[in-house]
Amino acid sequence: MKYYIIAGERSGDLHGSNLIKSIKGLQPGASFKGFGGDEMQKEGVSLSVHYRELAFMGFISLATSLYKIFQFISFCKKDILKFNPDAIILIDYGGFNMKIAKFAKAQGIPVFYYIPPKVWAWYNSRAWKLKARVDRIFVILPFEKDFFRKYDCEVDYVGNPVLDAIKAFQPSANFMYRHDLGHDRKLVALLPGSRKIELKLIVPLMAEIADANKGVQFVVAAVSNLPKDLYQALRGKDNVKFVEEETYDLLSHADAAIVTSGTATLETGIFKVPQVVVYKTSALEYAIADYLVQVEHISLVNLIAGKEVIKELIQSEATRKTIQDELTRLLNDNNYRSVIRQEYDRIYKILDTGSASENTASLMTEYLKKKDVS
């Protein structure tokens, strides 16, 4: 079997690599080509484009990069025809992948979408496009299955790959020692995300919190491929340290966390770290998002729980005072911490349905076998 696989971001590259590994376990002779990153390449994918070249993030940057995006789409279509795959696997990266799905469907190539666009969050009618362009959708959040079924989509809930990654994680025995972190102070993890526009607004806020809590040890989970100056406001402080590519080790030791919305909120929850979600972006991007978004919560923890488990401080609500008040409660109110952790346990049980990559690989290969028979 030949698979053309497209992941346009770092997280998709990781999830794609695990899925490829699972497919190869079922089909040792399978070959892979497409868009992705280092992790997928390690699993044997012949990379046509590295996701670093596709780093268009946010409504504004997207609008100013359309020409380059369309060039990549055109190249991808030609690359698919040249490779002539038995199936196409799309991973997240909705704007790009939806266009490729339409093209592939017209060519009669089976299209599988693993981790589809969050159409349940905004512009719900895009679900009809998914139905028209995709043969099978594999979702990683439990509530997504019911949502897509309302649009008569062929959908499977496969579990969550974040849980897979955390189950496979092996903590470093000397993490605290290597980073000169003592056990005599509370440790707060700072996870400001990976989008430049968000870091520019959130890092200074985090620096204010660090300045106001000299007795607390703060550790920043920095992204190695981002410019160092984005973290400048947090540098040079006695109670702030930095780690790169060690977020899970950090969360293994953290007493609390300040997190930008995204997958990191779920990762923090699975590690049972009490957290506050802080989100800020430009006024224009926020206005666009506020108009489009149709869900009550922005963090995956609250979305999966179906209620507020962790506090979300968004845009104008994200101030030094509001963050400080919530952090104080997270560090010192044991009853509050206990309630949050109980909810984390409930979320873990909801997500724990076996390996997402193995479940997805098994279903994909079975669907392709049925297609061959028919």
Tens-digit pLDDT profile for residues 234-289:
999 999 999 999 999 999 999 999 999 788 999 999 999 999 999 987 777 766 56
- Tally of structural domains, the chain: 2
Question: And the tokens for 161?
Answer: 């790959």
Pair 298, 328 in one domain = yes
**Domain span holding position 141:** 2-159+353-373
Q: What residue has token string 């995956």?
A: 300
Pair 95, 135 in one domain = yes
Question: And the tokens for 112?
Answer: 């599988």
Pair 127, 6 in one domain = yes
Beta bridge partners of 5: 34, 89
Pair 24, 124 in one domain = yes
Pair 276, 220 in one domain = yes
Taking every pair of C-alpha atoms in the chain, what is the biggest distance, in angstroms?
A: 67
| Residue 141: CATH number of its domain | 3.40.50.2000
Q: What is the pLDDT of residues 136-195, one digit of tens each?
A: 999 999 999 999 999 999 999 999 999 988 998 999 999 999 999 998 999 999 999 988
Pair 183, 136 in one domain = no
Q: What is d(CA 209, CA 203) in angstroms, rounded to the nearest whole number?
A: 10
Using an 8 Å Cβ cutoff, are 187 and 249 in contact?
Answer: no
Q: What is the pLDDT of residues 52-99, one digit of tens each?
A: 888 654 445 556 677 788 899 999 999 999 999 999 999 999 889 999
Q: What is d(CA 84, CA 135) in angstroms, rounded to the nearest whole number?
A: 17
Pair 324, 178 in one domain = yes
3-class secondary-structure state, position 299 = coil
Q: What is d(CA 373, CA 367) in angstroms, rounded to the nearest whole number?
A: 10
How deeply is 199 buried, as exposed, middle or buried, from its count of CB atoms within 10 A (0-12, 13-18, 19+)?
Answer: buried
Percent of the chain residues topping a pLDDT of 90: 77
Pair 140, 20 in one domain = yes
